[in-house]
Each structure stands twice: as structure tokens, then as C-alpha cells.
Amino acid sequence: MSLGTSLFHHFSVDDPSHVRRYRDEFRPRAEGDAPRAVVGVAGVCAPTAEAARAIESGFTNSFIKPTVVGDPRQCAEQLHAIADRYDVDEVLFLGTCDRLEDRVACYELLAEALGVRADADGSG
């Protein structure tokens, strides 16, 4: 089984060639193995870009820097652009809102903008 590769957008050098090199040099360990890549992105999605910037300005974690910030349409566009730029199979998004209400809204707004909807039981 191949575990793949992952990058955290803020801490990695903004260089998609890392993923290309991984895919080019990938050697399957078992039949059916394929190269898989994930990029992690931190950010804030709010009803308006101004609200997102206000929430971002209050985020004080020096370890994580939000790189995707805006309204739902802007965040979805930014995430698609990162996914395309890095040619990844998945994007992992970390909402960097300190307040629980803002964080829940962040995920809900972003899910709606991306066309992702959880079933009533929480499954995809």
C-alpha cells in the first residue's frame, strides 16, 4: 500500500514541482498502487471578504498562517486554483477561526460553495 505525499501550503515552498517529482518518481509497491497527493491549506471563509479578513486579523496562532481568505466564492476559487496548481487528488482545509460559531459557519459556507453536502447523519 502506498501512503502518498502531502504538503501544508503555508510551510512548504510554493513549488508544485515537488508533487510532479513525486508522481514522476513513484514506484508502486503493489498492483493498483497509484501516486496520491494532498495539499493542506489554512484559511477563513465568511459571508463577506471583509468579515473573513476581520476574523483572520484576530487569529494569533504563529504556527499556522491562513492563506485562503474571503467570501465563499473567493475561497472556492482559491482552493480550486491551489488544487490545479499542485495537481493534487485532495485539498485538506483547516478553518482558522477562533470562535466556534465562526468556524462552523466557515465550513458550512465553504462546503456549500464547493457543492459538498453532508447527509443528516454527518456522512458525505
User: In sequence order, what are the beta bridge partners of 21?
Assistant: none
**Global pTM value:** 0.80
At residue 1, the pLDDT reads: 42
At residue 109, the pLDDT reads: 97
**Exposure b/e, 41-76, CB count within 10 A at least 16 = b:** bbbbbbeebebbeebbeebeeeeeebebbbbbebbb
From first to last of the 124 residues of the chain, give the pLDDT tens digit.
445 555 555 555 677 888 888 888 888 888 778 888 888 899 999 999 999 999 999 998 888 889 999 999 999 999 999 999 999 999 999 999 999 999 999 999 999 999 987 665 655 5
